[in-house]
Amino acid sequence: MSDTKYEFPTEIVDLPSKGLVYPEGHPLRKGNVEIKYMTAREEDILASQSLIKKGVVLDKLFESVVVEKGVDINEEYINKVFSEYKIDIDQANSLLSKLKQPKEPSFSKKALLKTGN
């Protein structure tokens, strides 16, 4: 964690680029970024059909979770890097439908019953 104290939990995430795509002196050049843990607010962003259709869902998510000082999500070269990770509407809808499907319990009813042995 950084020296900055936030009123919410954060973690340091290593960048796949190891920071090499950023110019010298940029805060992401060090190869990691501090982000806050996702909350229901960020889940709402990810599930927003409007943001998905506009193609800005990940932009809004990154704006919400990146807390690293000096990082402007709207900078042109950051947008280029993030755009590589964008997913299309069909992929997003498929992912959301999988997440909404009920899961089968992974235990048996017998395991829940106490035995007299």
Digit-coded pLDDT (tens) for 56-85: 888 888 888 888 888 877 765 555 555 555
Ordered DSSP codes for 8-69: S-EEEEE-TTTTTTSPTT-GGGGSEEEEEPP-HHHHHHHH-HHHHHHT-HHHHHHHHHB--T
End-to-end CA distance of the chain: 51
Tokens encoding 63: 């704006």
pLDDT beyond 70 at 113 = no
In this prediction, residues 102-112 reach a mean pLDDT of: 56
Sign of the torsion formed by the C-alpha atoms of 39, 16, 49 and 97 = negative
pLDDT beyond 90 at 44 = yes
What residue has token string 């395991």? 111
pLDDT beyond 70 at 51 = yes
d(CA 5, CA 7): 7
pTM above 0.75, yes or no: no
Overall residue count recorded for the chain in this entry? 117
pLDDT beyond 80 at 109 = no
Residue type, 97: S
pLDDT beyond 70 at 112 = no
Q: What is the residue-averaged pLDDT of the chain? A: 75
Looking at residue 92, what is its pLDDT?
63
